[in-house]
Structure 1
């Protein structure tokens, strides 16, 4: 046995048994002309915001010998102001919590309310980090069903969600609206039905893509005041074009926020992170200036793929799940060979593509036009990309 093989075997022996054989989460990070696989905002941070951040950071550097504000008061105030302005829902800083990306915020919730001997319930296909966070923190994960178990169906009814919540007695329930990877907003009555059916659970509504939702889509934020077991999580990674800034947050009852202090690591948000996020929030209108353009490209993808004979899912997010593929892995590779990277989310005959800027969208659609005759299970007469 080689030295590296021996070390690997020793590590596996010492590793928690429930972690053996797992693979780490992550999408391919490949150097290709068109990267549309991780739902990033394709537009760079505006120069005016860059300048403001650099100016603000200059004042932080000399004090990096000191720990950051443990309760990030200024950032919480900025997040509160943004949430109130964006949603129209009254929120106080005592209801807001933040972490290094929404994944850390979600992990705080599971640490505090899930864990060993408790059940976490989600409805797949959905965000793949929900089960990863739950299981690695010791909770028992239950894959709830969408579409009443019908192959290829992604809808989730209030009745089906409530029945599964009653059956599994969860301590934490994950709902996702708009849902990743399907892109669909959740029927609002699902949230209220689950809250009623799972009286001993914290119900998390993951609204990472809320800013991209179509007009008239309601936010679960409107239910927080009357439901102390409801948590709504959001992120600055998507609409804010701030994925590298790593800032996620939640809104919940102040008592829930207080409970999360029990599990957070000391000083978990660095001084630069707090400053960068706060300045970005102060420039929210500028940072969100590309949202409507991205939504237009999303709708363009849905419309064009439908004319090609694919089966795109109407989306409230910045990405589109599309089916109708004879072999999704072969199509993924064929797109990559043409310089376009999309996401294989593990659903047979489906792929997911991020809505990029107009040039990136055109590159993807032109590639799909070329591939349609051999890669779509059913094709229509091919036309020039609109």
Structure 2
């Protein structure tokens, strides 16, 4: 039988594994950083009506530039970050933030070019970089998962990358970057600087957004998503804010009519009901902070988090702990630094199940000899 090895795929793709978190049928799935609160009946009805409105036009192509959606996204960002001063001309949207990243690398990366990131960070950055034919450089984060500005600048000056990825809040650690570190990289970078803010809505009070830097830095790109705080992971809508010239560059590489009429309608409806959808963010922040305190009370190491997940450890055998929790019906993520685990913040009931499962796993002699 023909296998993947028998096909004439690119040599640089051989031996690679496709990205993906485990998809298992468990009572409590806390491994993909989703918002656990589904849309209300009122919103479900509104979403259905929006889809019905466009259903009769599906024989026609959608607005290839998604102009109305981009105007709505700009309005949301201006409300989220007063003073951002964005218009639809400075916003771009695609099928999830991963397609946004792909388009950025198609426009600014490629053969003979380099992208640099500071790991541990979002694993799709290096994956999409390499798939685009761009060389990846891992400059690594500090021991506390932060990023010293001087060290970051030194890495940028050494490698002179065409694209720099900064993730704030960082995934999988939850760590937010101070604007000073971002600005230092912007001053040193010869190419584009991408600040991935997929979890920005969950940041703690007083944590600024890189959106405030856009006016002064035309090579800055700030990416966001509707998959997390907006509880619209199934919609697959990612977007960015940048200088209009950056949007012009992405128009060169986007596929024709890449955003369906249904996606655009659903996303616009979600934005119109943003107050409801974002209503659970404060509760998730509180649950996150309580989870951090509880884990530290167990004597575990926990990374400070500005996201809707918590990275904790350290475990000599994290797989044993992960399996111990899975056996008790709770699925978390085995990701990031080797001795750490990550849990997405769920409902109070889900977090109670998480605490019970972890407590049991930590006392199971077959699961763990000793945490350190």
Instruction: Give the TM-score taking structure 2 as reference length.
Output: 0.97
Residues 178 and 317, structure 1, Cα contact 8 Å, conserved in 2: yes
Q: 1:158 aligns with which of 149, 155, 173?
A: 149
1:178 corresponds to which of 165, 169, 181: 169
User: How many angstroms apart in 1 are the aligned matches of 2:333 and 2:51?
Assistant: 35
**3-state DSSP class of the match of 2:118?**
strand
Q: Is the aligned partner of 1:231 residue 2:231?
A: no
CA distance in 1, matches of 2:295, 2:11: 44
Structure 1's consecutive aligned runs of 4 or more residues displaced over 2 angstroms after TM superposition are: 6-9, 371-379
> Is structure 2 residue 98 aligned with structure 1 residue 103?
yes
What is the aligned partner in structure 2 of residue 9 from structure 1? 5
1:310 positional shift: 1.1
Contact 1:84 1:90 in 2 (8 A): yes
Distance 2:279 2:49 in 1: 22
Trace 1:1-386 onto structure 2 (pairs within 5 A): 3=1, 6-11=2-7, 14-88=8-82, 89-147=84-142, 150=143, 153-198=144-189, 200-373=190-363, 374=365, 375=368, 377-378=370-371
SS in structure 2 at match of 1:145: coil
Q: Distance in 1 between matches of 2:66 and 2:150?
A: 40
Structure 1 residues not aligned, in runs of 5+:
380-386
Compared with structure 1, are the counterparts of its residues 348 and 9 closer, same or farther at alpha carbon in structure 2 (3 Å cutoff)?
Answer: closer
The alpha-carbon deviation at position 378 of structure 1 amounts to 4.2
Distance in 2, matches of 1:133 and 1:52, equals 35
Q: Alpha-carbon deviations, 1:320-344, whole Å to 9, x = none?
A: 0001223111101111000000001
The separation in 2 between residues aligned to 1:246 and 1:324, in whole angstroms, is 33
Deviation at 1:196, TM superposition (A): 1.2
Quote how far apart the aligned CAs of 1:376 are.
7.1
2-structure distance, mates of 1:266, 1:99: 11
Structure 2 gap ranges (5+): none
Deviations 1:33-90 (A, max 9, x none): 0000000011111221111111121121111010000111110111111111111121
Residues 324 and 376, structure 1, Cα contact 8 Å, conserved in 2: no
Task: Provide the C-alpha distance between the structure 1 equivalents of 2:308 and 2:286, rounded to a whole number of angstroms.
Answer: 10
- Check conservation: 1:309, 1:324, Cα contact below 8 A: no
Q: Normalising by the residue count of structure 1, what TM-score does the alignment of the two structures yield?
A: 0.93
